[in-house]
């Protein structure tokens, strides 16, 4: 593939200088200091407006479109994820230079192939602008060169189409939606702490029925499964004392969904947590209130960071376990957003009973996030 001009594709060092201390972290948390806060508009409760809110919100500090999927079954199962992050820097918007990096775009993608015990991932960083790096405001239409994620509405209904590729792998998918958006928190206003500013606008599209063409090396496969899309934007999320977060999204076998997250302090205790379970019709489901997170083991990645894997979830005296498709799903994002985190395909089990498949994200382990 022809390489983009230097002002399109950034090295980590160049991106860090351009951001000037503003770190768009690779998932569900971003923070602004007290001094930063006036620069970015606060997230306030409001009614989300679709399809407009499927698109980009460039005034806000951080935004992401995060799609994960589980393909196939049993020993041939495969997980994948594609994430685009938009970050608004503090460069003045009235700067006349067309090279002013007012908006940055980051992208992560990965495939976890159980049959090969292979975890393949790639990440990118660049400056938004032009036709190769863009995030449209009218609807979901995000592109980083040959990677893309788009929402389409046709005679067959609503779907998300996407593609990504890295060294030795590529994946293109079509994920159809049968249900409307699941609004998180209070009608899409999701609290991340005790202060009003510590919040985001957040919705999910799940479950999605996905068909994918996967190329691993010289092997091509057509697979089907379930997927999950999160779209979230904010100006400030991290609360004082927070060092990291855990998040999960599970498509349950009965057609329902389970989303939960917690924000942790330096003692690995939850200082803010939320759980949102839905039945197959998208209505609130009982049985998951009071969910607690508890490590059931420890696994050390190539970064020498120890992650709490597998992870147990407790509801009263009932124990559930998140079992990774494979342990080695640590993402090295030093070439884009910086640092390491664990993000991987997992199964939700209760004893020997399989309840569903999805993704788990673990950040802030090894060292606190520095934002």
pLDDT digits (tens, 9 = 90+) for 302-330: 999 999 999 999 999 999 999 999 999 99
Look at residue 115 in the predicted model and tell me its pLDDT: 84
- For residue 293, what is the enclosing H or E element? strand 292-295
Structure tokens at 250: 């599970």
Look at residue 14 in the predicted model and tell me its pLDDT: 42
Look at residue 35 in the predicted model and tell me its pLDDT: 47
How high is the mean pLDDT of the chain?
A: 87
pLDDT exceeds 60 at position 42: yes
CATH superfamily of 12-363: AttH-like domain (2.40.370.10)
pLDDT exceeds 80 at position 250: yes
Handedness of CA 29, 134, 128, 216 (dihedral sign): positive
Omega of the bond leading into 297 within 30 degrees of 0 (cis): no
Where b means 16+ CB within 10 Å and e means fewer, 190-210 reads bbbbeeebbbbbbbbbbbbeb
Q: What does the chain come to in residues?
A: 371
| DSSP structure class, residue 238 | P
Look at residue 12 in the predicted model and tell me its pLDDT: 41
- pTM of the model as a whole: 0.89
Look at residue 154 in the predicted model and tell me its pLDDT: 83
Domain locations along the chain: 12-363
Look at residue 22 in the predicted model and tell me its pLDDT: 33
pLDDT digits (tens, 9 = 90+) for 270-299: 999 999 999 999 999 999 999 999 999 999
How many CB atoms within 10 Å of residue 256? 21
**How far apart, in whole angstroms, are the C-alpha atoms of residue 363 and residue 339?**
10
Cα→Cα distances 146→124, 143, 166, Å: 11, 7, 11
**How far apart, in whole angstroms, are the C-alpha atoms of residue 90 and residue 92?**
6
Look at residue 289 in the predicted model and tell me its pLDDT: 92
pLDDT exceeds 90 at position 33: no
Q: Is 54 helix (H, G, I), strand (E, B) or coil?
A: helix
pLDDT digits (tens, 9 = 90+) for 191-238: 999 888 899 999 999 999 999 999 999 999 999 999 999 999 999 877
pLDDT digits (tens, 9 = 90+) for 155-202: 889 999 999 999 999 999 999 999 999 999 999 999 999 888 899 999
Look at residue 39 in the predicted model and tell me its pLDDT: 82
Structure tokens at 102: 């007012």
């Amino acid at each position: 593939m022809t390489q983009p001009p230097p002002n399109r594709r950034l090295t980590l060092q160049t991106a860090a200088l351009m951001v000037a201390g503003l770190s768009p972290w690779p998932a569900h948390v971003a923070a602004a200091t007290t001094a930063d806060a006036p620069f970015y508009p606060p997230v306030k409760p409001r009614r989300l407006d679709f399809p407009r809110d499927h698109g980009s919100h460039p005034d806000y500090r951080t935004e992401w479109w995060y799609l994960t999927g589980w393909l196939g079954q049993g020993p041939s199962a495969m997980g994948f994820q594609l994430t685009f992050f938009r970050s608004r820097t503090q460069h003045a918007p009235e700067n006349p230079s067309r090279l002013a990096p007012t908006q940055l775009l980051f992208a992560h993608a990965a495939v976890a192939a159980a049959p090969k015990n292979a975890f393949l991932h790639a990440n990118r960083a660049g400056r938004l602008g032009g036709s190769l790096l863009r995030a449209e405001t009218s609807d979901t239409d995000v592109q980083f060169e040959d990677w893309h994620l788009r929402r389409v509405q046709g005679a067959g209904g609503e779907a998300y189409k996407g593609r990504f590729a890295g060294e030795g792998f590529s994946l293109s998918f079509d994920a159809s939606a049968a249900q409307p958006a699941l609004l998180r928190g209070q009608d899409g206003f999701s609290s991340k702490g005790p202060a009003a500013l510590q919040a985001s606008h957040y919705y999910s599209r799940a479950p999605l029925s996905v068909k994918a063409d996967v190329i691993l090396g010289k092997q091509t496969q057509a697979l089907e499964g379930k997927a999950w899309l999160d779209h979230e934007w904010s100006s400030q999320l991290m609360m004082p004392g927070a060092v990291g977060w855990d998040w999960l999204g599970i498509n349950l076998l009965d057609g329902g969904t389970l989303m939960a997250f917690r924000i942790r302090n330096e003692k690995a205790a939850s200082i803010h947590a939320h759980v949102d379970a839905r039945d197959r019709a998208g209505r609130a489901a009982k049985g998951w209130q009071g969910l607690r997170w508890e490590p059931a083991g420890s696994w050390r990645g190539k970064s020498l960071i120890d992650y709490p894997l597998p992870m147990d979830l407790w509801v009263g005296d009932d124990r559930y376990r998140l079992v990774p498709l494979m342990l080695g799903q640590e993402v090295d994002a030093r070439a884009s957003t910086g640092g390491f985190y664990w993000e991987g395909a997992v199964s939700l089990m209760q004893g020997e009973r399989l309840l569903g498949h999805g993704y788990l994200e673990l950040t802030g382990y090894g060292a606190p996030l520095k934002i």
